[in-house]
């Protein structure tokens, strides 16, 4: 009698095309022949390339005498014993098709999914022999996922009368079914449930877990980007293997940034697809974006903060709200150490060198352990030594378990990369392959010659030459044949996950970060405190001991201009100066409303306090009731303070609106001056505006007009200046008029908030705006 099947090693052979449970005692033929037991449609693989024979509790792999060879764990072999954990590569030790043997703790079901399968090995097989399986980060779950993107109690897979359903347990990062966020949904055989970095697939009566360990392929297929009938990217296709550093280079305007935006989903291509681990990035962006890190050219951190502080805030924003502070800080320490920033952890980012600052941005993106990392010109502005050190760092990151794609202008250290993509003008591929062969292929001795030709030899068909070359066959055609998924990804728009609790946590973190940033900018802080005091003192000097016919208008005018200047100046640069940070944070899930609310809250508190200080200083020990009216609702001093504080708030909203609209920070100051002048002219103190067609309607959009109206009502200026203000309804000394004036200020703020929201939306990654 032979051995009982139950005693045989339960091995599974994982390949890109799926998994093959190894039947005990059976021999498997591996090759390109469709008749083989395990088929690799790769031109480098021989028709019948290798044989896997059972031998005791293990298998023996035998090469059939091929030229390209068979490799076990990177070593070329003729014959070798293999078992769980060994990887067998055919045709190339580095990028040949791979098959990995893993243990399956339970016999695999006979009906496994025939379509998409993750490339990652099965990390865990969970028998579904109970009605409910809870998945989460906490140790008391049925399936524990040790991943900081996963909530303590994240989701449940429940048995139903018809099969199974997945239910999200109000997790922060969301539960995804085939790339779509779900609260609760039936799960069929082969459906992909995404939780953090893990993917679960229902297979028979078991749940297979695939952990994203960074071994993923990036497949780019026929990308086309067209703007105004002009092609910026033209049929760009390539495949980046796992653990690979790809550099993208090309002359200015060739489309490198356009390509990066298309690969990261920031601005999806008009045609073609980007597949990550076989899944469509655009269609499943909501889930897959969590696994992508993007380091733009500009700093994506507040440079006023220390390295550790900035990373801690980022960790708070990116990890679930129930993550323990110690876990967060441990991860921050890990990335600081990994990026060689330990000695600079307590240093302000603004005081770091260019290379160190770039490392901090990389550290930030590594917090969530992305398996795809994209960088836009990380070496720009660095000296040759720092350039090399940055490229070596990227290579280490790639070989450490992720795919790294970097756009660069520097040709100094391209030899460090595993793959090089050269884009020719018009967004076409002039070269894709190993960096060592590029100049020879293009027919030049040096890069300057090549760039000169890109610029001047406009008639040369760079893309055609590459397409006709064996390199295209070897690195692009084969790659696509290997990794094209067997069924299309489901269609649908991404839906970012958001719970109310997470919203509050995000707002709290943003508010704390904002106050910390303000507090660390001493100059800004000093101006913020001194400005209302100085303006208040000026108004106080004008007011004298009492508001009189001579002094009242000028005092109120200074209060209006002071409130507008302080409020608007606080906000006028805020959104434009951190637009890159916002875009990045939005792409990883920050709700727009949380961001906007945090800005309005922090700046609102500051502006209201400034308005109050301005008024109280201006009216200190001043008799504030020239007509003895006693105010419309409360004491005139408080009514004026409320009107000025509200005006400062409305002006702050106006400042934020300017900041949301402009493209460059430099234009904000002239606009601030313009806004202040408009307030003076249209507030109604200098020019009579009532019953002046056109001007009157225009003045309704000027906040100072309504604030002055409220103050005029409080002080009953219609009695003090009957001929000048007697007919102006906004100046009436009645409760109704006063409340209307303040109500319109609030209304203007709300309208400004709405427009800012729209402007922020326009600046978001295109794929986030699709809904
Ligand atoms: N929004 C747009 N509208 C019209 N044309 C655009 C737009 N964005 C980019 N382009 C054009 O597309 C081409 C490619 O731009 P892209 O920024 O991708 O090039 P690049 O290779 O990154 O250049 P550089 O190296 O100078 O950064 C350029 O000619 C650019 O003028």
Please write the tens of the pLDDT for every residue from 191-215: 888 998 888 888 777 788 887 777 7
Work out which ligand 1 atom sits closest to the CA atom of 423: 21
Residue nearest to atom 28 of ligand 1 (CA): 253
- 310-316 long-range contacts, CB within 8 A, separation 24+: 310/349, 310/360, 310/364, 311/335, 311/336, 311/360, 311/363, 311/364, 311/367, 313/509, 313/512, 313/513, 313/516, 314/364, 314/367, 315/367, 316/505, 316/509
**274 CA distance to ligand 1 middle (Å):** 20
For the segment 620-640, what is each residue's pLDDT rounded down to a tens digit? 988 888 777 788 888 899 999
Residue nearest to atom 31 of ligand 1 (CA): 253
43-57, 132-146, 727-741, 746-760: segment of lowest average pLDDT: 43-57
Which one of 225, 234, 248, 258 would you pick to mutate in the ligand 1 pocket, going by the greatest count of ligand atoms within 8 A of its CB? 258
Q: Which residue has the tokens 């008749």?
A: 35
372-376, 428-432, 495-499: segment of lowest average pLDDT: 495-499
Residue nearest to atom 25 of ligand 1 (CA): 252
**What pLDDT band is residue 536 in, cutting at 50, 70 and 90?**
very high
Q: Quick one: average pLDDT of 570-587?
A: 91
pLDDT greater than 70 at residue 413: yes
Residue nearest to atom 9 of ligand 1 (CA): 258
Residue nearest to atom 23 of ligand 1 (CA): 253
Which one of 257, 266, 410, 458 would you pick to mutate in the ligand 1 pocket, going by the greatest count of ligand atoms within 8 A of its CB? 257
**278 CA distance to ligand 1 middle (Å):** 29
Which one of 256, 261, 411 would you pick to mutate in the ligand 1 pocket, going by the greatest count of ligand atoms within 8 A of its CB? 256
DSSP designation for 444: -
Per-residue confidence (pLDDT) for residue 9, from 0 to 100 = 45
**137 CA distance to ligand 1 middle (Å):** 43
Query: What mean pLDDT value characterizes the chain?
Result: 85
Q: Quick one: average pLDDT of 508-537?
A: 91
Per-residue confidence (pLDDT) for residue 98, from 0 to 100 = 83
**257 CA distance to ligand 1 middle (Å):** 7
Per-residue confidence (pLDDT) for residue 491, from 0 to 100 = 38
Residue nearest to atom 29 of ligand 1 (CA): 253
**232 CA distance to ligand 1 middle (Å):** 7
Residues 6+ apart with CB under 8 A from 523: none
**77 CA distance to ligand 1 middle (Å):** 48
For the segment 255-270, what is each residue's pLDDT rounded down to a tens digit? 999 999 999 888 888 8
Residue nearest to atom 6 of ligand 1 (CA): 227
For the segment 506-516, what is each residue's pLDDT rounded down to a tens digit? 899 999 999 99
pLDDT greater than 60 at residue 770: no
Q: Quick one: average pLDDT of 705-720?
A: 90
pLDDT greater than 90 at residue 178: no
pLDDT greater than 70 at residue 569: yes
Residue nearest to atom 5 of ligand 1 (CA): 227
Q: What is the rounded radius of gyration, in angstroms, for the C-alpha atoms of the chain? A: 32
Which one of 247, 249, 251, 255 would you pick to mutate in the ligand 1 pocket, going by the greatest count of ligand atoms within 8 A of its CB? 255
**Range with the largest mean pLDDT of 544-548, 573-577, 674-678:** 573-577
- Contact yes or no for 359/341 (Cβ under 8 A): yes
Per-residue confidence (pLDDT) for residue 18, from 0 to 100 = 61
Per-residue confidence (pLDDT) for residue 308, from 0 to 100 = 96
For CA atoms 753, 755, 758, 760, the dihedral sign is: negative
**763 CA distance to ligand 1 middle (Å):** 17
Which one of 251, 253, 421 would you pick to mutate in the ligand 1 pocket, going by the greatest count of ligand atoms within 8 A of its CB? 253
DSSP helix/strand/coil, 80: strand
**350 CA distance to ligand 1 middle (Å):** 29
415-419, 441-445, 596-600, 687-691: segment of lowest average pLDDT: 687-691
In angstroms, the CA 339 to CA 333 distance is: 10
Beta bridge partner(s), residue 135:
143, 155
**357 CA distance to ligand 1 middle (Å):** 26
Q: Quick one: average pLDDT of 293-310?
A: 92
Backbone angles phi and psi of 423, in degrees to 5? -95, 130
Q: Which residue has the tokens 């007509």?
A: 627
Ligand 1 binding site (Cβ under 6 Å of any ligand atom): 227, 232, 250, 252-258
Per-residue confidence (pLDDT) for residue 119, from 0 to 100 = 58
**423 CA distance to ligand 1 middle (Å):** 12
For the segment 458-503, what is each residue's pLDDT rounded down to a tens digit? 888 999 999 898 888 878 765 554 444 444 343 344 444 556 777 8
Backbone angles phi and psi of 502, in degrees to 5? -65, -40
Work out which ligand 1 atom sits closest to the CA atom of 407: 22
Helix or strand holding residue 751 (H, E): helix 735-762
Residue nearest to atom 13 of ligand 1 (CA): 253
**32 CA distance to ligand 1 middle (Å):** 42
Work out which ligand 1 atom sits closest to the CA atom of 250: 21
**762 CA distance to ligand 1 middle (Å):** 19
**260 CA distance to ligand 1 middle (Å):** 11
Residues 6+ apart with CB under 8 A from 636: 624, 625, 629, 630, 714, 715
Q: Would you tell me the crossing angle of helices 636-661 and 735-762 to the nearest 10 degrees?
A: 20
pLDDT greater than 50 at residue 274: yes
pLDDT greater than 80 at residue 112: no
Q: Which residue has the tokens 């993550």?
A: 323
Residue nearest to atom 17 of ligand 1 (CA): 257
**What pLDDT band is residue 729 in, cutting at 50, 70 and 90?**
confident
Is this complex's ipTM strictly greater than 0.85?
yes
**426 CA distance to ligand 1 middle (Å):** 10
Residues 6+ apart with CB under 8 A from 281: 263, 265, 273, 274, 275, 288
**Range with the largest mean pLDDT of 92-106, 290-304, 404-418, 600-614:** 600-614
In angstroms, the CA 163 to CA 161 distance is: 6
Work out which ligand 1 atom sits closest to the CA atom of 228: 4
In angstroms, the CA 598 to CA 506 distance is: 9
Residue nearest to atom 8 of ligand 1 (CA): 258
Per-residue confidence (pLDDT) for residue 548, from 0 to 100 = 82
Strands 180-182 and 175-177: what pairing? antiparallel
Going by C-alpha positions, the residue among 703, 737, 487, 534 that lies closest to residue 633 is 737
Backbone angles phi and psi of 376, in degrees to 5? -105, 110
Per-residue confidence (pLDDT) for residue 731, from 0 to 100 = 84
Work out which ligand 1 atom sits closest to the CA atom of 427: 14
For the segment 317-339, what is each residue's pLDDT rounded down to a tens digit? 988 888 889 999 999 999 999 99
pLDDT greater than 90 at residue 420: yes
62-76, 103-117, 213-227, 544-558: segment of lowest average pLDDT: 103-117
Q: Quick one: average pLDDT of 30-44?
A: 73
pLDDT greater than 70 at residue 24: no
**253 CA distance to ligand 1 middle (Å):** 5
For the segment 89-111, what is each residue's pLDDT rounded down to a tens digit? 998 888 888 888 877 644 433 33
Per-residue confidence (pLDDT) for residue 465, from 0 to 100 = 92
Per-residue confidence (pLDDT) for residue 485, from 0 to 100 = 44
Per-residue confidence (pLDDT) for residue 647, from 0 to 100 = 97
In angstroms, the CA 360 to CA 340 distance is: 10
For the segment 730-745, what is each residue's pLDDT rounded down to a tens digit? 888 899 999 999 999 9
Strands 98-103 and 87-90: what pairing? antiparallel
Backbone angles phi and psi of 445, in degrees to 5? -95, -25
**362 CA distance to ligand 1 middle (Å):** 24
Work out which ligand 1 atom sits closest to the CA atom of 260: 18
**266 CA distance to ligand 1 middle (Å):** 14
Residue nearest to atom 16 of ligand 1 (CA): 255
**29 CA distance to ligand 1 middle (Å):** 50
Residue nearest to atom 2 of ligand 1 (CA): 227
**408 CA distance to ligand 1 middle (Å):** 15
Residue nearest to atom 7 of ligand 1 (CA): 227
């Amino acid at each position: 009698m032979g051995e009982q099947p139950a005693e045989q090693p339960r091995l599974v052979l994982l390949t890109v095309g799926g998994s093959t449970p190894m039947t005990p005692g059976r021999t498997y033929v591996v090759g390109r022949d469709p008749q083989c037991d395990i088929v690799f449609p790769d031109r480098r693989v021989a028709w019948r390339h290798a044989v896997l024979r059972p031998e005791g509790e293990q298998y023996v792999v035998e090469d059939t005498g091929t030229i390209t060879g068979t490799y076990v764990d990177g070593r070329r072999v003729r014959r070798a014993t293999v078992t769980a954990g060994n990887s067998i590569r055919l045709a190339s030790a580095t990028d040949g098709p791979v098959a990995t043997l893993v243990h399956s703790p339970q016999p695999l079901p006979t009906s496994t999914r025939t379509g998409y399968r993750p490339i990652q090995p099965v990390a865990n097989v969970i028998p579904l022999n109970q009605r409910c399986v809870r998945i989460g980060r906490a140790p008391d779950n049925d399936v524990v996922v040790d991943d900081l993107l996963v909530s303590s109690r994240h989701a449940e897979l429940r048995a139903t009368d018809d099969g199974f359903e997945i239910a999200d347990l109000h997790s922060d990062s969301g539960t995804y079914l085939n790339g779509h966020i779900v609260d609760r949904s039936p799960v069929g055989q082969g459906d992909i449930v995404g939780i953090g970095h893990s993917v679960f697939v229902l297979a028979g009566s078991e749940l297979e877990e695939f952990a994203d360990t960074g071994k993923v392929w990036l497949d780019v297929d026929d990308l086309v980007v067209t703007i105004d009938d002009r092609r910026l990217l033209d049929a760009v296709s390539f495949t980046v293997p796992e653990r690979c550093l790809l550099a993208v280079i090309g002359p200015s305007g060739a489309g490198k940034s356009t390509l990066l935006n298309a690969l990261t989903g920031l601005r999806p291509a008009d045609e073609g697809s980007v597949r990550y681990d076989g899944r469509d990035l655009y269609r499943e962006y909501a889930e897959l974006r969590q696994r992508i890190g993007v380091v733009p050219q500009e700093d994506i951190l507040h440079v006023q903060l220390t390295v550790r502080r900035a990373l801690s805030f980022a960790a708070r924003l990116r990890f679930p709200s129930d993550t323990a502070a110690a876990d967060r800080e441990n991860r921050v320490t890990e990335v600081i150490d990994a990026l060689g920033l330990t000695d600079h952890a307590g240093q302000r980012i603004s005081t770091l060198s260019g290379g160190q600052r770039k490392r901090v941005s990389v550290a930030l993106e590594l917090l969530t352990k992305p398996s795809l990392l994209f960088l836009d010109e990380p070496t720009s502005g660095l000296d040759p030594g720092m350039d090399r050190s940055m490229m070596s760092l990227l290579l280490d990151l790639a070989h450490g378990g992720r795919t790294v794609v970097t756009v660069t202008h520097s040709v100094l250290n391209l030899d460090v990369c595993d793959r090089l993509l050269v884009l020719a003008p018009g967004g076409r591929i002039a070269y894709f392959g190993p960096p060592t062969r590029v100049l020879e292929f293009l027919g030049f001795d040096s890069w300057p010659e090549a760039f000169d030709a890109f610029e001047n030899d406009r008639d040369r068909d760079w893309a055609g030459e590459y397409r006709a070359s064996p390199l295209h066959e070897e690195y692009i055609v084969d790659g696509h044949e290997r990794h094209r998924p067997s069924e299309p990804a489901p269609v649908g728009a991404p839906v970012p996950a958001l719970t109310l609790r997470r919203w509050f946590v995000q707002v709290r973190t943003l508010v704390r970060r904002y106050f910390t940033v303000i507090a660390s900018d001493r100059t800004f802080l000093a101006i913020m405190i001194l400005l209302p005091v100085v303006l208040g003192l000026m108004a106080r000097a004008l007011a004298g001991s009492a508001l009189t016919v001579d002094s009242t208008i000028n005092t109120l005018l200074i209060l209006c201009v002071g409130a507008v200047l302080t409020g608007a100046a606080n906000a006028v640069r805020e959104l434009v100066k951190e637009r890159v940070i916002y875009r990045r944070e939005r792409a990883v899930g920050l709700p727009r409303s949380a961001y906007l609310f945090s800005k309005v809250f922090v700046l609102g508190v500051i502006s209201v306090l400034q308005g109050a200080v301005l008024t109280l200083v201006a009216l200190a020990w001043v008799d504030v009731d020239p007509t003895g009216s006693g105010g419309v609702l409360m004491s005139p001093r408080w009514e004026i303070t409320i009107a000025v504080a509200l005006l400062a708030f409305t002006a702050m909203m106006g400042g934020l609106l300017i900041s949301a609209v402009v493209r460059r920070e430099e234009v904000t100051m002239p606009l601030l001056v313009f806004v202040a002048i408009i307030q003076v002219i249209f507030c109604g103190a200098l020019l009579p505006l009532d019953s002046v067609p056109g001007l009157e309607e225009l003045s309704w959009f000027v906040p100072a007009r309504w604030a002055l109206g409220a103050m005029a009502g409080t002080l009953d200026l219609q009695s003090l200046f009957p001929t000048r203000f007697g007919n102006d309804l906004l100046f009436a000394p009645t409760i109704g008029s006063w409340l209307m004036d303040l109500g319109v200020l609030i209304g203007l703020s709300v309208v400004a908030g709405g427009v800012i929201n729209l402007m922020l939306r326009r600046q978001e990654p295109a794929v986030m705006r699709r809904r």
